[in-house]
Structure 1
Amino acid sequence: MDLQDQLKNLFPDHQAAPEEEIIAEVKELWIQDEPMICKFEKRKGKPTTIIEGYTGDQEDFKILAKEIKTKLSVGGSYKDESIIIQGDYRDKIMAILKKKGFKVKRVGG
């Protein structure tokens, strides 16, 4: 007895929904002409990478911050229209942003 049969026994009046592919809608980020700035700083003695200069919607920038943090498996935050990533990940972040179509400028070292 598989799961479908068990569900039919528990809920005999239930009509199963047609099996259709549910496509998650991916929001397109606005790509700007000016380069974003990717810089390295030490805050309280710890290395941080800061990304600033995005002129699009704040929600898009927050989505981008979450995606970068997820891909790099690091902590960080979105504050004062800049993304703050824990650690020195300038090269990896620049590669991710270039792959998405952004222009990136490296600042500081």
Structure 2
Amino acid sequence: MDLQDQLKNLFPDHTPEPADHSEDSKNDLWLQDDPIICKYEKRKGKPITILEGYTGATEDFKKLAKELKTKLSVGGSFKDDKIIIQGDYRDKIMTMLKEKGFNVKRVGG
């Protein structure tokens, strides 16, 4: 007898809600009309990619930062309404953001 059967025995009147595991972050984030600026810099000799210009909620931008860092398997941070990704990943980040529906503008190099 597994856990689901035990729960059915304890609570016979309860009908569980269907689990929605399709976490589509495209619907979670606020899409803006102005483009997100994606630029490349070198700090202390190391390349970094900076995303700025998001006008939505800070929490949405933090979620986006975490998702980008996870998908790219790189480090980074969120400071002063900017996402800083370690390395030059402008092309990959721009394609990911365009798939989500964002307008992206490439600046520099």
Q: Does 1:80 align with 2:77?
A: no
- 2:44 paired residue number: 44
Instruction: Choose 1 or 2 for highest CA Rg.
Output: 1
- 1:23 paired residue number: 20
Matches of 1:71 and 1:18, distance apart in 2: 36
Q: CA deviation at 1:70?
A: 0.7
- 1:57 paired residue number: 57
Identity of aligned residues (%): 65
Q: Does 1:4 align with 2:11?
A: no
Q: CA deviation at 1:81?
A: 0.2
SS in structure 2 at match of 1:39:
strand
SS in structure 1 at match of 2:30:
coil
* Unaligned segments of structure 1, at least 5 residues: none
CA RMSD in angstroms, aligned pairs only: 2.3
SS in structure 1 at match of 2:99:
helix
Matches of 2:15 and 2:89, distance apart in 1: 45
Partner letter of residue 28 of structure 1?
A: D
Partner letter of residue 101 of structure 1?
A: G
Instruction: Count residues with an aligned counterpart.
Output: 103
